[in-house]
Amino acid sequence: MLSRAIKNRTGHRLCGHVLIMALCFAVFSMATPTARASTASADKANTEEPKEPAVPEIPDTVVVPDPVSLTIVLRNSGTIRQIVFNIWLEATNRQAVDVIEQRLPKVINAFLVDLQRLMYRDTEQRFENREPGKRGFKYTAPGLLPPPPPKTEEELAAEAEAAKLAEENGEEIAKEPPFSPFQPVSNRYFAALQNKLLRTGQGVLPPDTLRSVQIRMFYDFWPGDAKPRK
């Protein structure tokens, strides 16, 4: 009797151990795929390269002519001032670029007429009010802005829905103008000069062709102020 009881207890213990081992194996098997999936996700996240920031670039709506140069000679003193402008023309759209390029010589000639008159006055003032060697200066426009990120699917869907509602109501949503990379010019002199050249260019070109005129760089040289080499 005693030996039979011992055998029964031993059998129950063995069955209990087997059940516990089976449960542990099942739990381990269920946890392993999750761990593998987590590891794979972590590896994927680590291997993804960070997005590089957008780099400023010249849009295809901008015309970049050759530098514009002119020489100013004051009548009374014979003082000479040599000036160079880097002027860019921003079109209203891509189709307007072809029109600007076709009439570019006329636009540049019209600019030269304005610049010759304006720079003559400026040269007189700088000659009278500044000492030799301190009359020249250089201007560089603010850097270009990077292009905006592309619109998301949600934004495009919202715009399409708004356009549909406007059409149903007999309205029309104005299209967004093309992205412009040009920052506002803080230098008042060159801001006014850009506006003057813009009006001149718009007078030569058809309406709704020229969006802006950008003076990207200006520098001058006064040969008479240069110190002789020893």
Distance, CA of 192 to CA of 216 (rounded, Å): 14
Q: What angle do CA 102, 119, 180 make, to 5 degrees?
A: 45
Domain identity same for 112 and 74: yes
Q: Worst-scoring range by mean pLDDT, 19-23, 45-49, 51-55, 191-195?
A: 19-23
Domain that holds residue 20: 1-48
90 shares a domain with 15: no
Average pLDDT, the chain: 81
| Secondary structure (3-state) at 132 | coil
Whether 51 shows a pLDDT value over 80: the answer reads: no
Write out the E strands in the chain: 62-63, 68-73, 80-91, 138-140, 210-221
Is the domain of 83 the same as that of 142? yes
Task: Calculate what percentage of the chain has a pLDDT beyond 90.
Answer: 57
216: three-class secondary structure by DSSP = strand
Residue 220 has pLDDT above 80, yes or no: yes
Residues 195 and 142 in one domain: yes
Query: In this structure, is residue 18 part of a structural domain?
Result: yes
- pLDDT at residue 121 above 80? yes
Distance of CA 75 to the CA centre of its chain: 45
Question: 3-state class of 81 per DSSP?
Answer: strand
Residues 112 and 205 in one domain: yes
Among 118-132, 141-155, 199-213, the range scoring the smallest mean pLDDT is: 141-155
Instruction: Kindly indicate the confidence band of residue 229, based on its pLDDT and cuts at 50, 70 and 90.
Output: low
- Count of domains forming the chain: 2
88 plus 138 within the same structural domain: yes
Is the residue at 195 inside a domain? Answer: yes
Asked if 41 and 5 sit in the same domain, the reply is: yes
Look at residue 22 and tell me if it is in a domain.
yes
pLDDT at 228 over 80: no
- Kindly state whether residue 173 falls inside one of the protein's structural domains: no
Looking at the fold, whether 38 and 110 belong to one and the same domain comes out as no
Q: Indicate whether 95 belongs to any domain.
A: yes
Per-residue pLDDT averaged across 146-163, rounded? 83
Asked whether residue 158 is domain-assigned, the answer is: no
Percent of the chain with pLDDT over 70: 74
CA–centroid distance for 161 within its chain: 28
